[in-house]
Chains A and B, each alone.
Chain A
């Protein structure tokens, strides 16, 4: 180990040189070719928020339609398309990518690295995400948006019940997106294994790394189930196959199994990283390390694992054998345990400190409250008899919005307030932040709590209108008002982001007095992230003085690696130095690969098989150029 070697202090000259090596020019080429994880991360965040806004507009249209009985603002067909696009957009194109955005931006900074392990794959995953979203929304141009619900149950999705392109867009857009999510997850896993700063053994990894790595592994196992389902659906529709056709030996239940084998792990995929971010932020505002760090890590992994054993609880009403249902009901109740461990760790952290009540902390406390409410309604629906009563009612809609908005959107907004200073160098307005929180929190509860009641009163989901006098009128009016208040809250958030970017107070390196490595670099960080590769000796390297740690990390001294675009690779468990890694330059190949993939999917959509074939050949060509070694690469080294 070379950690005690006498590294010289880096000079200003070293910094200038690193700047030159890692600089992405602000030209058109630079923008299209960049592989900087910080730029890609922010693009992910902005694009996901655009999808959030689109999904929000769709929700607004639905709530206008449902505000009173017997309204006809939307036709039944339009309503079907809008509720399907709302769910699909929010779950697939907002909730997971937003977390990828944070992870892309933060991971190398948390790990003490100069980039992700596979920077070009990182760029590729963003372009694929963007293009798959454009592909999905291009269905609006021909008025054939997906219209069979976000979980698209067969047989309603089969060709004979849905002859237009609506569900082809659905199946292909999701397949398209799974490529992006898969390569992104592989990148996170490899980065976790290889790119940690020397000394950051796995017991010293920040929680956020654990949570995103857990779900990345879940993605590798769960997402192929969705890919299989969407492939089967497309083959049924366009190649006259019979996977979901019970007349020919297929089964509509096959779709449900495949969809939920994927779908329930996906629920944890869109909440665990958000919980991980909460576990990063709460200790900062409590001025102490997270209580029960190891237990929270174990709970995170347990949740990821048990998430694979509960899919049938989405299918309790399909007539499965009682034994199977009891098993899955029990498994679903089991998952409460790790969630409770995490919540109690947060409460213990808060209990033992005097939390500083800044805006991120408000959102985090709101999140804990909503998590508990959503968790309780989850336990209720995990019980079989209760589920039979409530399945397909607004109670389920209330539950899933408490869970997804509570555990995804609230911590995400908290995380933007928290890391915005790092990304932009400026603080977000605290005053507007408080308005933002209270309007969102009150609007959310006003909008979604009454859905529990309309559900208990028997209102089914996915009806475009309802008759008066069924007892649902008041609950629906309140829901619609609350939804609009909530939308205003989200709008305040966007306004705060836009205004603070120009006029916010200058943040400095560490405005919250955080303990992890990202706060050791300037705000915004230099393009090369770290002037020297740090050596880590504890979980909170910046808090070692305060905590009186026995061992001290080295943040200002270490290897500068200023001879080329380089960073260090370390061993998977102990993070001992393994090798110097040469990192790729900016490249147009990720964009090119994503573009030919886009052509490929349009070819499939229009059943222009030759177009798809040519595009597939294009994929092959681009991949070969991508993997071909550069003439300048030294061939004598291992790599």
Chain B
């Protein structure tokens, strides 16, 4: 309708470039601030550890479930990377399959993590260590839930054909978020499971 009015505009502007759109930057900012939140959680963990006569108060957290679970989560990052590379060259099916596998791996992580909670010999109200352990892992758990929901929505949109090789910001952002959830778990896992083995006093 406006062809005669906006005489000058669109055709004189360069076509879109490879510059990141605002939505991508917004996701980066969100990840920065979420990352900072986990950093403060871990700061609190080490701070209270530094004051404790014995840390953890009872047994070391077991690696039987958490170890394999970590491998699953990290592996899922590679799967979603593979999926995103697919849509970048226009391969719809690779995107759909990759996202679906990632979501399944995320759900498996959540199931194993729930079993981990069931096997713990302490609760969040047992002591400050318990409060920290449960709160930090539960916040991460919640982030995985959000990540899986994002992937499922993106999966639905992938089946509806919303994405092309040039237009797939929702995929890019979902992938960014999922990588963040995975990398943050490495920090959480290292702090809660590995450092007590290295310098824990019990």
Give A contacts to B, CB under 8 Å: 1-2, 5, 7-8, 11, 13-14, 17, 117-118, 121, 182, 185-187, 189-191, 193-195, 219-225, 227-228, 231-232, 235-236, 239-243, 245, 248-251, 254, 257-258, 261, 559-564, 566, 568-569, 571, 577-581, 620, 624, 627, 629, 635-639
Contact = CB atoms under 8 A, between A and B. Distances in A.
Contact of A638 (B21, B41, B126, B157): B21
A635 B162 contact: yes
B132 interface: yes
A194 B25 contact: yes
Contacts of A228: 37, 40-41, 44
B149 A243 contact: no
Contacts of A249: 48, 51-52, 57, 127-129
Interface stretch (B12-20, B66-74, B105-113, B192-200): B12-20
Contact of A562 (B5, B30, B36, B166): B5
Contacts of B134: 241
A121 B169 CA distance: 17
Contacts of A220: 29, 32-33, 36
A117 B39 CA distance: 28
A7 B8 contact: yes
A5 B10 CA distance: 12
B9 interface: yes
B128 A243 contact: yes
Contacts of A627: 153, 170
B6 A563 contact: yes
Interface in B114-155: 124-132, 134-135, 149, 153
Given A189-B29, A250-B48, 12 more contacts: A1-B14, A221-B32, A225-B36, A239-B124, A240-B124, A249-B52, A251-B48, A258-B43, A562-B2, A562-B9, A568-B13, A578-B19
Contacts of B132: 243
Contacts of A182: 33
Nearest to A3: B12
Contact of A559 (B12, B21, B125, B157): B12
Contacts of A193: 22, 25
16 contacts: A5-B8, A121-B26, A187-B26, A220-B36, A225-B36, A235-B124, A235-B135, A245-B128, A248-B128, A249-B129, A250-B48, A250-B128, A251-B128, A560-B6, A560-B9, A561-B6
A17 to B, nearest CB: 5
B125 A239 contact: yes
Interface string B38-61: 011101100110011000010000
B167 interface: yes
A638 B2 CA distance: 22
A580 B17 CA distance: 10
Contact of A242 (B17, B47, B127): B127
A64 B131 CA distance: 44
A2 B14 CA distance: 7
Given A221-B36, A629-B162, A241 B6 contact: no
Given A220-B33, A242-B125, A624-B153, A563 B169 contact: no
B36 to A, nearest CB: 4
Contact of B40 (A224, A563, A624): A224
A639 B157 CA distance: 15
Given A2-B14, A224-B33, A636-B164, A241 B22 contact: no
Main secondary structure of the interface of B (DSSP, over half): helix
B89 interface: no
A537 B78 CA distance: 45
A171 to B, nearest CB: 14
Contacts of B164: 635-636
Contacts of B17: 578-579
A245 B48 CA distance: 11
Contacts of A227: 37
Contact of B2 (A17, A190, A581, A636): A17
A248 B54 CA distance: 12
Contacts of B16: 578-580, 637-639
**Most chain A CB within a 10 A radius of its CB, from B12, B37, B51, B131:** B131
B10 A561 contact: yes
Contacts of B25: 117, 189-190, 193-194
A187 B30 CA distance: 10
A533 to B, nearest CB: 9
A225 B134 CA distance: 18
Contact of B149 (A194, A251, A620): A620
Contacts of A187: 26
Contacts of A245: 128
Interface string B163-180: 010110110000000000
B117 to A, nearest CB: 15
Contacts of B36: 220-222, 224-225
A625 B41 CA distance: 32
B131 A639 contact: no
A569 B13 contact: no
A8 B9 CA distance: 10
Contacts of A620: 149
Nearest to A558: B8
Contact of B124 (A117, A190, A241, A637): A241
Nearest to A249: B128
A97 B36 CA distance: 22
B44 A241 contact: no
A224 B37 contact: yes
A117 B22 contact: yes
Contacts of A564: 2
B22 A577 contact: no
Contacts of A11: 5
A483 B41 CA distance: 41
B37 A569 contact: no
Contact of B169 (A571, A577, A639): A639
Contact of A569 (B10, B22, B149): B22
A231 to B, nearest CB: 7
A186 B12 CA distance: 31
Most A Cβ at <10 Å: residue of B6, B16, B22, B164: B22
Contact of B47 (A5, A219, A257): A257
**9 tightest A-B CB contacts, nearest first:** A249-B128, A224-B37, A241-B131, A562-B6, A250-B128, A240-B125, A578-B19, A220-B33, A186-B29
Nearest to A568: B13
B89 to A, nearest CB: 15
Query: Which of the listed residues A241, A559, A564, A636 has the most CB atoms from chain B within 10 Å of its own CB?
Result: A241
A430 to B, nearest CB: 41
Nearest to B149: A620
A254 B9 contact: no
Contacts of B32: 220-221
Contacts of A236: 131
Counting chain A CB atoms within 10 Å of each CB, the highest count among B130, B132, B157 belongs to: B132
Contacts of B166: 636-638
